[in-house]
């Protein structure tokens, strides 16, 4: 339709009329093209903030009202324990707000939502202000679970969930002599560590059989307990708290076994409870949390729930990573209605009291099923414990206590249902690794879909894409895609992808590898293009060189020497599959390998006298020379890799190395045919 003049519309009830000037001959667009989307988000935690970022990325002009009930700027709850321990400053945990220049219609308000008026599509806050919405997103999170323990309201009893909680505990620490932390999960451990750093005597009580019983099995928890107690924290397990005693303030804690622990401060870290009351009052379906479907929508199609408050197919998640995944999907559903949520894989990758802990999938107490296999590796000296659960050969769970450089790739196996081969299982049991070559654990060699930033669910491919677009450092990547912006654990991996971890370190013995590679190339060229040696017309004129390559005895000596050196070289190529300390550094083996290649060409010259032969002998010579050329090229690329960008160095190394490996396969058959032709025909 075309028109001319001024059109007056009411985009939203109660809004001032919107005047649209339309020139003659101009096609009148649908009303939605002129109206911005109005979304209200309840909850300003990390997940609510992430949803706003995702929605603004898809629709920069969206009119978003973010409501938070804490009288502070949105902050990262994950780092509260670091704040309590004094490891970070207050401003360091603030979350980044959207840029007003890029998101002019975003606003943040401190307000507690009291009522959802579904019929009017409005939310009413505690001040009586109403906020209309087109879509409503509930990211109300969860609150600390308060165990029903007598005395939990005494002075000196704290919970540890919010910034105010952290500030209250911090103010209390100065006059605390002995603190009892109730709860042996991650939050309880971090709270205990933070209190210990303040010079307080700390006792940790865990009702379950062992620490972090949802993420760790018995063995790994024992290692954790030893590390916790080595810090000076007393740990009591299988001991629930019966009563918190005191006259107005805390004096002691009494366990179910009747033990009395004198203390003056108690910190409750006994889990979380989803905040679902506002949804229940509005008539939305709730269970353990706010029930959502695959669109992350409630039984009201215009109201969504994400994060710790939501329940999908009977599952609630107490981790930030699934919440971020839900936030991204909900934003896409609202704008494009394309994505669907199928649930999140439980992956926990944390640093607990300085130790790396990785836990994913069904690994703690897997249900017994046919063809279920559990693989374990334990290195007492290094304090490393690793476990994998396989179902029909595929990874359904993995656990590691201590450093595990392969954890990222193992996560990729778990998330994609990849198969673990028998030799990989044997390698894991013996060495604690699926890939025996240490270079295979480099992030540059991971598949593109492997998750690098677990918190933000960002893959290697996504990070590589923003690097290709011009990001040159970790901060730039963080700004562009968010990798490393939550816990920071993945920043070293991002730095490795960038090559910004400083000047690239040259490999050991790289000069020797380079020299032998270039000499091998030169020798192969001489062998291929140098004129064939001519036989002397007189015995007196026969040179030493001719006597060696033409005499049957010396021909056998050089031939079998060449065979032996070739076999050794082929066997040495298997060294890259093993990374065991007693075998020495691999770069020196590579230097020896290239040196053997040069020695082979020299023997070949004395064995053939620069004659390339014919038929099968010619094919053998051609295969041998191509093998030397490709191997020398791979050696040169590897030795000079520190002068190249990491991505380019890795691509070139992989290209030349694989060509070298492929060409080596026909060599044993051709050598066998040559020996048969000489001795049997």
Distance CA 615, CA 198 (A): 82
Q: Does domain 38-76+86-143+274-335 have CATH number 3.40.50.360?
A: no
* pTM of the predicted protein model: 0.68
Q: Which two tokens stand for residue 431?
A: 């060495």
In CATH terms, the fold of domain 157-266 is: FAD/NAD(P)-binding domain (3.50.50)
pLDDT at 27 over 50: no
Helices 586-608 and 615-639: crossing angle, nearest 10°? 150
Sign of CA dihedral 308, 311, 313, 315: positive
DSSP codes, 302-336: TEEE-GGGEEETTB---SHHHHHHHHHHHHHHHHT
pLDDT band at 469 (very low <50, low <70, confident <90, very high): confident
Residue 604 has a pLDDT of 87
Mean pLDDT value of segment 57-68: 94
Kindly report the CATH class assigned to 442-502: mainly alpha
CB count in 10 Å sphere of residue 226 = 11
Residue 579 has a pLDDT of 52
Distance CA 500, CA 646 (A): 9
Residue 452: partners with Cβ closer than 8 Å, 6 or more residues away: 408, 443, 446, 458, 459, 460, 463, 483, 490, 493, 494, 497
Residue 10 has a pLDDT of 41
Q: Which two tokens stand for residue 534?
A: 């001519």
Mean pLDDT value of segment 139-168: 93
* Residues 328-348 pLDDT 10s: 899 999 998 888 888 887 777
pLDDT band at 365 (very low <50, low <70, confident <90, very high): confident
Q: List 397's β-bridge partners, or say none.
A: 361, 389
pLDDT at 566 over 80: yes
- Calculate the dihedral angle through the C-alpha atoms of 609, 615, 616, 618, rounding to the nearest 10 degrees: 40
DSSP codes, 93-124: GBPPPPPTTT-TTEEEEE--EEEEETTTTEEE
Residue 681 has a pLDDT of 59
**C-alpha distances in Å from residue 500, one per residue of 247, 467, 504, 646:** 59, 11, 9, 9
* Residues 204-243 pLDDT 10s: 999 988 999 888 999 999 999 999 999 999 999 998 899 9
Distance CA 318, CA 671 (A): 62
- Tally the C-alpha atoms within 13 A of residue 291's C-alpha that lie toward its C-beta: 11
Distance CA 99, CA 378 (A): 49
Q: Does domain 356-428 have CATH number 3.40.190.10?
A: no
Beta carbons of 134 and 121 less than 8 angstroms apart? yes
* Higher-scoring residue by pLDDT: 296, 1: 296
- Say what percent of the chain tops pLDDT 90: 40
Which three-class secondary structure state does DSSP give residue 280? helix
Q: How do 252-255 and 260-262 pair as beta strands?
A: antiparallel
Residue 444 CA, distance from chain mean position: 13
* Residues 435-467 pLDDT 10s: 765 544 457 766 677 777 765 678 888 888 888
Q: Which two tokens stand for residue 583?
A: 């075998």
Q: What is the mean pLDDT of the chain?
A: 84
Residue 485 has a pLDDT of 60
Residue 67 CA, distance from chain mean position: 31
Q: Which two tokens stand for residue 412?
A: 């990729």
Residue 272 has a pLDDT of 92
pLDDT at 578 over 80: no
Residue 436 has a pLDDT of 64
**C-alpha distances in Å from residue 22, one per residue of 8, 9, 36:** 11, 13, 19
């Amino acid at each position: 339709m075309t028109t001319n003049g001024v059109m007056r519309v009411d985009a939203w009830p109660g809004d001032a009329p919107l005047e649209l000037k339309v020139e003659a001959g101009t096609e009148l667009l649908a009303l939605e093209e002129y109206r911005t989307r109005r979304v209200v988000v309840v909850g300003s935690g990390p997940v609510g903030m992430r949803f706003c970022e995702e929605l603004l990325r898809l629709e920069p002009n969206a009119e978003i009202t973010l409501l938070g009930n804490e009288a502070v700027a949105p902050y990262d709850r994950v780092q509260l324990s670091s704040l309590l321990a004094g490891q970070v400053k207050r401003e360091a945990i603030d979350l980044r707000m959207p840029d007003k220049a890029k998101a002019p219609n975003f606003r943040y308000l401190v307000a507690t939502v009291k009522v959802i008026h579904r019929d009017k599509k409005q939310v009413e806050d505690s001040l009586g202000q109403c906020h209309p919405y087109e879509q409503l997103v509930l990211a109300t999170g969860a609150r600390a679970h308060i165990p029903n323990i007598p005395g939990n309201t005494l002075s000196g009893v704290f919970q540890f969930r919010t910034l105010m909680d952290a500030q209250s505990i911090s103010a209390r620490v100065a006059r605390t002599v002995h603190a009892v932390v109730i709860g042996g999960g991650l939050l309880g451990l971090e709270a205990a560590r933070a209190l210990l750093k303040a010079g307080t005597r700390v006792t940790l009580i865990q009702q379950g059989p062992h620490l972090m019983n949802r993420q760790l099995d018995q063995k790994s928890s024992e290692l954790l307990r030893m590390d916790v107690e080595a810090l000076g924290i007393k740990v009591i397990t299988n001991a629930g708290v019966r009563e918190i005693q005191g006259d107005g303030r805390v004096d002691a804690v009494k366990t179910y076994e009747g033990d009395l622990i004198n203390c003056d401060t108690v910190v409750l870290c006994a889990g979380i409870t989803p905040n679902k009351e506002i949804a229940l009052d509005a008539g939305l379906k709730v269970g353990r949390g706010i029930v959502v479907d695959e669109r992350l929508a409630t039984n009201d199609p215009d109201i969504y729930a994400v994060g710790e408050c939501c329940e999908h197919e009977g599952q609630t998640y107490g981790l930030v990573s699934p919440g971020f995944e839900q936030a991204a999907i909900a934003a896409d559903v609202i704008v494009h209605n394309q994505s669907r949520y199928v649930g999140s894989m439980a992956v926990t990758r944390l640093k607990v009291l300085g130790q790396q802990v990785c836990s994913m999938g069904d690994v703690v107490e897997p249900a017994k099923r046919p063809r279920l296999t559990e693989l374990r590796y334990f290195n007492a000296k290094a304090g490393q414990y690793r476990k994998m659960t396989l179902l029909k050969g595929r990874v359904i769970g993995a656990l590691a206590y201590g450093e595990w450089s392969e954890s990222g790739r193992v996560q990729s196996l778990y998330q994609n249902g990849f198969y673990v081969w028998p030799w990989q299982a044997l390698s894991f049991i013996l060495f604690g690794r699926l890939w025996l070559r240490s270079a295979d654990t480099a992030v540059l060699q991971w598949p593109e879909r492997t998750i690098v930033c677990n918190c933000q669910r960002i893959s290697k491919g996504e990070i590589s894409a923003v690097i290709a677009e011009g990001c040159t450092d970790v901060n730039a990547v963080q700004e562009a895609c968010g990798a490393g912006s939550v816990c920071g654990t993945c920043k070293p991996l991002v730095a490795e992808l960038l090559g910004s971890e400083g000047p690239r370190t040259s490999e050991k013995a790289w000069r020797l590898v380079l020299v032998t590679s270039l000499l091998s190339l030169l020798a192969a060229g001489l062998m291929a293009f140098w004129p064939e040696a001519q036989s002397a017309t007189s015995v007196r004129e026969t040179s030493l060189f001719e006597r060696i390559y033409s005499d049957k005895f010396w021909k056998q000596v050089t031939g079998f020497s060449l065979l032996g050196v070739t076999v050794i070289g082929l066997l040495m190529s298997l060294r890259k599959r093993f990374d065991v300390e007693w075998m020495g550094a691999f770069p020196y083996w590579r230097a020896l390998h290239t040196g053997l290649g040069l020695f082979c060409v020299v023997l070949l010259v004395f064995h053939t006298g620069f004659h390339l032969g014919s038929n099968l002998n010619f094919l053998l010579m051609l295969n041998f020379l191509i093998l030397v050329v490709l191997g020398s090229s791979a050696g040169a690329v590897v030795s000079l890799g520190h002068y190249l960008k990491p991505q380019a160095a890795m691509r070139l190394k992989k290209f030349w190395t694989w060509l070298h490996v492929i060409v080596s396969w026909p060599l044993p058959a051709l050598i066998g045919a040559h020996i048969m032709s000489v001795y049997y025909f």
